[in-house]
Amino acid sequence: MTLEKMRDQLKLQIVPDCFADFYKNISDSWENHAKEILSDTYIRSVLEENQILTDRLDVILQAAAETRENPAMCLLVCLLEQWAQKGGIPEDGFKNPIGTGLAYDFYCLFATIPTIGQTVANLQKRGLPADVIADTMAEYDFCVQICENSLGRPAFEFGRLWWIQRVIHSQLVHIDRFKYDLPGQYSKGIRVYENAAGEQVVLADGMELHRSGAMLGTAGLEDTEGSFTANITETETTVEGHSVVNGFVQQEKIKLDKDEWKLIFSPTDNVLGIHIPPGGGFDKETMDKSFARAKELFRKCYPDHPFKAFHCRTWLLAPQLRTILKPDSNILAFQNRFIRYPYRSNGKECMSFLFNLLTNDPENLNDLPENTSLQRAVKAVYLNGGCIHEGEGIFF
Protein backbone atom coordinates (compact mmCIF):
# COMPACT_ATOMS: atom_id res chain seq x y z
CA MET A 1 0.00 0.00 0.00
CA THR A 2 1.60 3.25 -1.13
CA LEU A 3 0.70 6.72 0.10
CA GLU A 4 -0.86 7.49 -3.27
CA LYS A 5 -3.04 4.35 -3.24
CA MET A 6 -4.21 5.20 0.26
CA ARG A 7 -5.23 8.66 -0.86
CA ASP A 8 -7.06 7.30 -3.90
CA GLN A 9 -8.89 4.52 -2.06
CA LEU A 10 -10.02 6.75 0.80
CA LYS A 11 -10.72 9.70 -1.53
CA LEU A 12 -8.54 11.94 0.58
CA GLN A 13 -8.49 15.38 -0.99
CA ILE A 14 -5.86 16.85 1.32
CA VAL A 15 -3.23 15.30 3.58
CA PRO A 16 -0.49 17.07 5.56
CA ASP A 17 2.87 17.38 3.81
CA CYS A 18 4.48 15.65 6.79
CA PHE A 19 2.71 12.40 5.86
CA ALA A 20 5.34 11.77 3.20
CA ASP A 21 8.09 11.80 5.82
CA PHE A 22 6.04 9.69 8.21
CA TYR A 23 5.45 7.15 5.46
CA LYS A 24 9.19 6.82 4.82
CA ASN A 25 9.71 6.03 8.50
CA ILE A 26 6.98 3.39 8.73
CA SER A 27 6.80 1.99 5.18
CA ASP A 28 8.32 -1.35 6.25
CA SER A 29 6.56 -1.64 9.62
CA TRP A 30 3.08 -0.13 9.42
CA GLU A 31 1.27 -3.36 8.47
CA ASN A 32 2.50 -5.25 11.53
CA HIS A 33 2.04 -2.21 13.73
CA ALA A 34 -1.55 -1.79 12.54
CA LYS A 35 -2.30 -5.44 13.31
CA GLU A 36 -1.05 -4.88 16.85
CA ILE A 37 -2.74 -1.58 17.74
CA LEU A 38 -6.02 -2.56 16.04
CA SER A 39 -6.22 -5.96 17.71
CA ASP A 40 -9.00 -6.61 20.21
CA THR A 41 -6.45 -7.69 22.81
CA TYR A 42 -4.43 -4.47 22.57
CA ILE A 43 -7.40 -2.10 22.53
CA ARG A 44 -9.16 -3.85 25.38
CA SER A 45 -6.02 -3.96 27.54
CA VAL A 46 -5.22 -0.25 27.13
CA LEU A 47 -8.76 1.01 27.64
CA GLU A 48 -9.61 -1.29 30.54
CA GLU A 49 -6.32 -0.71 32.32
CA ASN A 50 -6.90 3.04 32.22
CA GLN A 51 -10.70 2.91 32.60
CA ILE A 52 -11.27 4.82 29.37
CA LEU A 53 -14.34 4.26 27.18
CA THR A 54 -15.05 0.94 28.88
CA ASP A 55 -18.79 1.36 28.32
CA ARG A 56 -18.10 1.83 24.60
CA LEU A 57 -15.86 -1.19 24.13
CA ASP A 58 -18.32 -3.21 22.05
CA VAL A 59 -18.76 -0.56 19.37
CA ILE A 60 -15.04 0.33 19.44
CA LEU A 61 -14.03 -3.30 18.89
CA GLN A 62 -16.54 -3.57 16.03
CA ALA A 63 -14.99 -0.46 14.51
CA ALA A 64 -11.51 -1.96 14.90
CA ALA A 65 -12.63 -5.12 13.11
CA GLU A 66 -13.92 -3.06 10.18
CA THR A 67 -10.71 -1.02 10.13
CA ARG A 68 -8.53 -4.15 10.01
CA GLU A 69 -10.34 -5.20 6.82
CA ASN A 70 -9.36 -1.93 5.11
CA PRO A 71 -5.58 -1.70 4.44
CA ALA A 72 -5.82 1.94 3.36
CA MET A 73 -7.54 2.83 6.62
CA CYS A 74 -4.89 0.87 8.58
CA LEU A 75 -2.17 2.94 6.96
CA LEU A 76 -4.04 6.16 7.68
CA VAL A 77 -4.34 5.22 11.37
CA CYS A 78 -0.58 4.65 11.57
CA LEU A 79 0.15 7.98 9.89
CA LEU A 80 -2.26 9.84 12.16
CA GLU A 81 -0.65 8.20 15.18
CA GLN A 82 2.66 9.77 14.16
CA TRP A 83 0.91 13.06 13.46
CA ALA A 84 -0.82 13.11 16.86
CA GLN A 85 2.36 12.27 18.75
CA LYS A 86 4.16 15.17 17.07
CA GLY A 87 1.37 17.66 17.74
CA GLY A 88 -0.27 18.05 14.34
CA ILE A 89 -2.90 20.76 14.00
CA PRO A 90 -5.71 21.35 11.47
CA GLU A 91 -3.68 24.04 9.70
CA ASP A 92 -1.30 21.28 8.62
CA GLY A 93 -3.99 20.33 6.11
CA PHE A 94 -6.25 17.31 6.30
CA LYS A 95 -9.65 16.29 4.94
CA ASN A 96 -11.58 13.32 6.23
CA PRO A 97 -11.72 10.16 4.07
CA ILE A 98 -14.99 9.83 2.21
CA GLY A 99 -16.97 6.86 3.40
CA THR A 100 -19.41 5.60 6.00
CA GLY A 101 -19.33 2.96 8.70
CA LEU A 102 -17.71 2.39 12.05
CA ALA A 103 -14.18 2.45 10.65
CA TYR A 104 -14.79 5.98 9.37
CA ASP A 105 -16.31 7.00 12.70
CA PHE A 106 -13.44 5.78 14.89
CA TYR A 107 -10.20 5.78 12.88
CA CYS A 108 -9.02 8.92 14.71
CA LEU A 109 -9.47 7.23 18.09
CA PHE A 110 -7.30 4.29 17.02
CA ALA A 111 -4.51 6.76 16.21
CA THR A 112 -4.52 7.96 19.83
CA ILE A 113 -4.87 4.75 21.84
CA PRO A 114 -1.10 3.98 21.61
CA THR A 115 -0.38 7.31 23.34
CA ILE A 116 -2.54 6.68 26.41
CA GLY A 117 -0.02 4.79 28.53
CA GLN A 118 2.66 7.46 28.12
CA THR A 119 0.16 10.24 28.80
CA VAL A 120 -0.85 8.65 32.10
CA ALA A 121 2.82 8.11 33.02
CA ASN A 122 3.55 11.80 32.34
CA LEU A 123 0.69 12.92 34.59
CA GLN A 124 1.83 10.54 37.33
CA LYS A 125 5.38 11.84 37.05
CA ARG A 126 4.02 15.34 37.70
CA GLY A 127 2.58 14.07 40.98
CA LEU A 128 -1.06 14.76 40.14
CA PRO A 129 -3.63 12.94 42.33
CA ALA A 130 -5.31 9.81 40.98
CA ASP A 131 -8.73 11.46 40.67
CA VAL A 132 -7.31 14.33 38.61
CA ILE A 133 -5.53 11.89 36.29
CA ALA A 134 -8.72 9.86 35.88
CA ASP A 135 -10.79 12.99 35.14
CA THR A 136 -8.19 14.23 32.67
CA MET A 137 -8.09 10.90 30.79
CA ALA A 138 -11.90 10.85 30.76
CA GLU A 139 -11.54 13.47 28.02
CA TYR A 140 -11.67 10.51 25.62
CA ASP A 141 -15.13 9.61 26.91
CA PHE A 142 -16.13 13.26 26.65
CA CYS A 143 -15.01 13.40 23.01
CA VAL A 144 -17.12 10.39 22.06
CA GLN A 145 -20.10 11.81 23.95
CA ILE A 146 -19.77 15.15 22.14
CA CYS A 147 -19.91 13.33 18.82
CA GLU A 148 -22.89 11.24 19.91
CA ASN A 149 -24.77 14.36 21.02
CA SER A 150 -24.20 15.92 17.61
CA LEU A 151 -24.37 12.92 15.26
CA GLY A 152 -26.81 10.71 17.10
CA ARG A 153 -24.24 7.91 17.31
CA PRO A 154 -20.93 7.39 19.14
CA ALA A 155 -17.89 8.45 17.14
CA PHE A 156 -14.49 10.12 17.45
CA GLU A 157 -14.33 12.51 14.52
CA PHE A 158 -11.30 14.46 13.34
CA GLY A 159 -12.02 17.58 15.37
CA ARG A 160 -11.76 15.43 18.49
CA LEU A 161 -8.34 14.21 17.39
CA TRP A 162 -7.20 17.81 17.27
CA TRP A 163 -8.65 18.49 20.74
CA ILE A 164 -7.36 15.34 22.47
CA GLN A 165 -3.80 16.33 21.61
CA ARG A 166 -4.06 18.78 24.51
CA VAL A 167 -4.23 15.70 26.74
CA ILE A 168 -1.63 13.72 24.77
CA HIS A 169 0.89 16.54 25.15
CA SER A 170 0.06 17.28 28.80
CA GLN A 171 -1.45 20.68 27.98
CA LEU A 172 -4.83 20.08 29.64
CA VAL A 173 -5.66 19.02 33.20
CA HIS A 174 -9.19 18.45 34.54
CA ILE A 175 -9.52 19.51 38.17
CA ASP A 176 -13.00 19.16 39.67
CA ARG A 177 -15.43 21.53 37.87
CA PHE A 178 -13.07 22.99 35.26
CA LYS A 179 -10.36 22.04 32.82
CA TYR A 180 -7.13 24.02 32.75
CA ASP A 181 -4.59 24.77 30.05
CA LEU A 182 -0.90 24.70 30.82
CA PRO A 183 0.04 28.29 31.76
CA GLY A 184 0.94 30.54 28.85
CA GLN A 185 0.64 34.07 27.50
CA TYR A 186 -3.01 33.82 26.43
CA SER A 187 -4.20 37.26 27.56
CA LYS A 188 -3.50 40.11 25.12
CA GLY A 189 -4.37 43.76 24.84
CA ILE A 190 -4.68 44.85 28.49
CA ARG A 191 -2.58 46.03 31.39
CA VAL A 192 -3.80 46.10 34.98
CA TYR A 193 -2.70 48.71 37.54
CA GLU A 194 -3.35 48.72 41.28
CA ASN A 195 -3.04 51.35 44.02
CA ALA A 196 -2.21 51.00 47.70
CA ALA A 197 -5.91 50.64 48.56
CA GLY A 198 -6.20 47.58 46.31
CA GLU A 199 -8.26 49.39 43.67
CA GLN A 200 -7.57 48.23 40.12
CA VAL A 201 -7.70 49.99 36.77
CA VAL A 202 -7.52 48.18 33.44
CA LEU A 203 -6.13 49.95 30.37
CA ALA A 204 -6.49 48.69 26.81
CA ASP A 205 -3.31 48.52 24.78
CA GLY A 206 -3.09 47.93 21.04
CA MET A 207 -6.82 47.43 20.42
CA GLU A 208 -8.88 48.62 17.47
CA LEU A 209 -12.30 49.44 18.90
CA HIS A 210 -15.79 49.88 17.57
CA ARG A 211 -17.48 53.04 18.82
CA SER A 212 -19.40 50.87 21.30
CA GLY A 213 -16.15 49.93 23.03
CA ALA A 214 -16.23 46.38 21.70
CA MET A 215 -13.47 45.06 19.44
CA LEU A 216 -13.79 46.35 15.88
CA GLY A 217 -14.59 43.44 13.56
CA THR A 218 -16.70 41.63 16.12
CA ALA A 219 -19.80 40.10 14.51
CA GLY A 220 -22.28 42.89 13.78
CA LEU A 221 -19.75 45.57 14.74
CA GLU A 222 -17.73 45.87 11.55
CA ASP A 223 -18.60 49.48 10.58
CA THR A 224 -15.72 51.88 11.26
CA GLU A 225 -17.67 55.09 11.90
CA GLY A 226 -16.57 56.45 15.27
CA SER A 227 -13.99 53.68 15.74
CA PHE A 228 -10.85 54.40 17.71
CA THR A 229 -7.49 52.91 18.66
CA ALA A 230 -6.58 52.29 22.28
CA ASN A 231 -2.89 52.52 23.11
CA ILE A 232 -1.10 53.25 26.35
CA THR A 233 1.20 56.28 26.56
CA GLU A 234 3.77 56.51 29.32
CA THR A 235 5.96 59.30 30.65
CA GLU A 236 8.37 59.15 33.57
CA THR A 237 5.54 60.02 35.94
CA THR A 238 2.24 59.01 34.31
CA VAL A 239 0.43 56.30 32.37
CA GLU A 240 -2.37 57.40 30.04
CA GLY A 241 -4.86 55.29 28.13
CA HIS A 242 -8.41 54.07 27.61
CA SER A 243 -9.87 52.24 30.60
CA VAL A 244 -11.87 49.02 30.34
CA VAL A 245 -15.13 49.00 32.29
CA ASN A 246 -17.45 45.97 32.42
CA GLY A 247 -15.87 44.51 29.30
CA PHE A 248 -15.97 47.63 27.13
CA VAL A 249 -13.22 50.15 26.34
CA GLN A 250 -14.12 53.75 27.16
CA GLN A 251 -13.53 56.43 24.56
CA GLU A 252 -12.33 59.00 27.08
CA LYS A 253 -8.72 58.65 28.20
CA ILE A 254 -7.63 58.61 31.82
CA LYS A 255 -4.24 59.38 33.36
CA LEU A 256 -2.64 57.48 36.25
CA ASP A 257 0.15 58.75 38.48
CA LYS A 258 2.93 56.15 38.62
CA ASP A 259 3.63 57.02 42.25
CA GLU A 260 0.09 55.85 43.09
CA TRP A 261 -0.55 53.12 40.53
CA LYS A 262 1.70 50.09 39.98
CA LEU A 263 1.56 47.70 37.03
CA ILE A 264 0.47 44.25 38.29
CA PHE A 265 -0.40 42.48 35.03
CA SER A 266 0.69 42.71 31.39
CA PRO A 267 0.33 40.48 28.29
CA THR A 268 3.76 38.96 28.93
CA ASP A 269 2.52 37.40 32.18
CA ASN A 270 1.50 33.75 32.10
CA VAL A 271 -2.11 32.86 32.85
CA LEU A 272 -3.83 29.59 33.66
CA GLY A 273 -6.45 29.01 30.98
CA ILE A 274 -9.91 27.77 32.00
CA HIS A 275 -12.16 25.51 29.91
CA ILE A 276 -15.75 24.86 30.95
CA PRO A 277 -17.13 21.35 30.43
CA PRO A 278 -20.90 21.01 30.16
CA GLY A 279 -23.10 19.60 32.85
CA GLY A 280 -21.57 21.18 35.94
CA GLY A 281 -22.81 23.95 38.18
CA PHE A 282 -21.65 27.51 38.67
CA ASP A 283 -22.43 27.83 42.35
CA LYS A 284 -19.79 29.60 44.40
CA GLU A 285 -18.72 26.56 46.41
CA THR A 286 -18.17 24.43 43.30
CA MET A 287 -16.17 27.13 41.53
CA ASP A 288 -14.11 28.08 44.58
CA LYS A 289 -13.12 24.46 45.14
CA SER A 290 -11.86 23.97 41.58
CA PHE A 291 -10.01 27.30 41.37
CA ALA A 292 -8.32 26.82 44.75
CA ARG A 293 -7.29 23.26 43.98
CA ALA A 294 -6.03 24.23 40.52
CA LYS A 295 -3.87 26.97 42.02
CA GLU A 296 -2.46 24.54 44.57
CA LEU A 297 -1.81 21.66 42.16
CA PHE A 298 -0.27 23.73 39.37
CA ARG A 299 2.10 25.44 41.76
CA LYS A 300 3.03 22.09 43.30
CA CYS A 301 3.10 19.84 40.22
CA TYR A 302 4.06 22.38 37.53
CA PRO A 303 6.58 24.68 39.28
CA ASP A 304 8.26 25.17 35.90
CA HIS A 305 5.06 26.79 34.60
CA PRO A 306 4.28 29.71 36.95
CA PHE A 307 1.24 31.90 36.35
CA LYS A 308 -0.07 35.20 37.64
CA ALA A 309 -3.82 34.96 36.92
CA PHE A 310 -6.63 32.77 35.65
CA HIS A 311 -7.85 33.39 32.10
CA CYS A 312 -10.95 32.40 30.16
CA ARG A 313 -12.33 33.10 26.69
CA THR A 314 -15.88 31.84 26.35
CA TRP A 315 -19.42 32.68 25.28
CA LEU A 316 -20.32 32.42 28.97
CA LEU A 317 -18.56 35.79 29.40
CA ALA A 318 -20.73 37.36 26.69
CA PRO A 319 -22.06 40.80 27.67
CA GLN A 320 -25.41 39.92 26.07
CA LEU A 321 -26.05 37.33 28.78
CA ARG A 322 -26.38 40.16 31.30
CA THR A 323 -29.56 41.25 29.52
CA ILE A 324 -31.24 37.83 29.35
CA LEU A 325 -30.25 36.22 32.67
CA LYS A 326 -31.56 37.06 36.12
CA PRO A 327 -29.22 39.22 38.24
CA ASP A 328 -28.74 36.38 40.73
CA SER A 329 -27.78 33.91 37.98
CA ASN A 330 -24.78 31.72 38.82
CA ILE A 331 -23.46 32.30 35.30
CA LEU A 332 -23.39 36.04 35.99
CA ALA A 333 -21.66 35.28 39.28
CA PHE A 334 -19.04 33.45 37.19
CA GLN A 335 -18.73 36.53 34.96
CA ASN A 336 -18.34 38.82 37.95
CA ARG A 337 -15.16 37.04 39.04
CA PHE A 338 -13.40 38.33 35.95
CA ILE A 339 -11.83 41.50 34.73
CA ARG A 340 -13.65 41.35 31.42
CA TYR A 341 -12.33 42.98 28.23
CA PRO A 342 -13.21 42.91 24.51
CA TYR A 343 -12.53 39.98 22.21
CA ARG A 344 -13.01 39.94 18.43
CA SER A 345 -15.87 37.45 18.36
CA ASN A 346 -17.57 35.79 15.42
CA GLY A 347 -20.67 35.38 17.55
CA LYS A 348 -20.98 31.66 16.86
CA GLU A 349 -19.12 29.79 19.61
CA CYS A 350 -22.21 29.17 21.72
CA MET A 351 -23.81 27.11 18.93
CA SER A 352 -21.69 24.00 19.46
CA PHE A 353 -21.51 24.30 23.24
CA LEU A 354 -25.08 25.29 24.08
CA PHE A 355 -26.95 23.44 21.35
CA ASN A 356 -24.76 20.31 21.02
CA LEU A 357 -23.78 20.92 17.38
CA LEU A 358 -20.62 19.65 15.69
CA THR A 359 -20.24 22.99 13.92
CA ASN A 360 -21.05 26.59 14.77
CA ASP A 361 -23.08 27.08 11.59
CA PRO A 362 -26.56 25.58 11.94
CA GLU A 363 -28.48 25.23 8.69
CA ASN A 364 -31.67 26.66 10.18
CA LEU A 365 -31.85 28.72 13.38
CA ASN A 366 -35.49 27.69 13.80
CA ASP A 367 -34.36 24.09 14.33
CA LEU A 368 -32.19 24.90 17.35
CA PRO A 369 -33.40 23.03 20.45
CA GLU A 370 -35.32 24.78 23.23
CA ASN A 371 -34.84 22.28 26.06
CA THR A 372 -33.63 24.80 28.63
CA SER A 373 -34.50 28.39 29.46
CA LEU A 374 -30.99 29.44 28.40
CA GLN A 375 -31.36 27.72 25.02
CA ARG A 376 -34.70 29.43 24.50
CA ALA A 377 -33.34 32.84 25.43
CA VAL A 378 -30.21 32.56 23.27
CA LYS A 379 -32.18 31.18 20.33
CA ALA A 380 -34.49 34.19 20.54
CA VAL A 381 -31.46 36.52 20.38
CA TYR A 382 -30.33 34.94 17.10
CA LEU A 383 -33.81 34.79 15.59
CA ASN A 384 -34.14 38.52 16.27
CA GLY A 385 -30.93 39.21 14.34
CA GLY A 386 -28.58 39.46 17.29
CA CYS A 387 -25.81 37.16 18.50
CA ILE A 388 -23.87 36.18 21.59
CA HIS A 389 -20.34 37.56 21.54
CA GLU A 390 -17.66 35.51 23.25
CA GLY A 391 -16.00 37.41 26.04
CA GLU A 392 -12.53 37.29 27.55
CA GLY A 393 -11.29 37.93 31.05
CA ILE A 394 -8.81 37.29 33.83
CA PHE A 395 -8.91 37.17 37.61
CA PHE A 396 -6.24 36.86 40.27
- Please tell me the distance from the alpha carbon of residue 189 to that of residue 203, in angstroms, as a whole number: 8
Among 3.40.50.880, 3.40.630.120, 3.40.50.720, 2.40.10.120, what is the CATH number of 277-395?
3.40.630.120
Q: How far apart, in Å, are the Cα atoms of 280 and each of 175, 284, 338?
A: 12, 12, 19
pLDDT score at 90: 57
User: Exposed e or buried b for every residue in 49-77, given b needs 16+ CB within 10 A?
Assistant: ebebbeebeebbbebbebbbebbbbbbbb
Nearest to 315 by CA among 219, 175, 192: 219
Give start and end residues of each alpha helix (H) in 30-70: 30-37, 40-49, 57-68
3-state percent helix, strand, coil for the chain, nearest multiple of 5: 45, 20, 35
> Strands 178-181, 271-275: parallel, antiparallel or unpaired by DSSP?
antiparallel
| pTM, full prediction | 0.93
pLDDT score at 92: 67
pLDDT score at 241: 98
Angle at CA 168, nearest 5°, toward 166 and 169? 70
Q: How far apart, in Å, are the Cα atoms of 218 and each of 35, 340, 370, 376?
A: 49, 16, 26, 23
Q: Encode the chain (396 residues) as per-residue pLDDT tens digits.
A: 999 999 999 999 888 889 999 999 999 999 999 999 999 999 999 999 999 999 999 999 999 999 999 999 999 999 999 999 988 765 667 888 999 999 999 999 999 999 999 999 999 999 999 999 999 999 999 999 999 988 999 999 999 999 999 999 999 999 999 999 999 999 999 999 999 999 999 999 999 999 999 999 999 999 999 999 999 999 999 999 999 999 999 999 999 999 999 999 999 999 999 999 988 899 999 999 999 999 999 999 999 999 999 999 999 999 999 999 999 999 999 999 999 999 999 999 999 899 988 788 898 999 999 999 999 999 999 999 999 999 999 999
CB 87 within 8 A of CB 130: no
Which parts of the chain are beta strand (E)? 172-175, 178-181, 190-194, 200-204, 207-209, 228-230, 233-234, 238-245, 248-257, 262-265, 271-275, 309-314, 339-341, 391-395
For residue 221, the 8-state DSSP code is B
pLDDT score at 385: 94
Q: Where are the domains of the chain?
A: 3-170, 190-265, 277-395
CB 205 within 8 A of CB 231: yes
pLDDT score at 25: 94
pLDDT score at 391: 95
CB 301 within 8 A of CB 254: no
pLDDT score at 357: 84
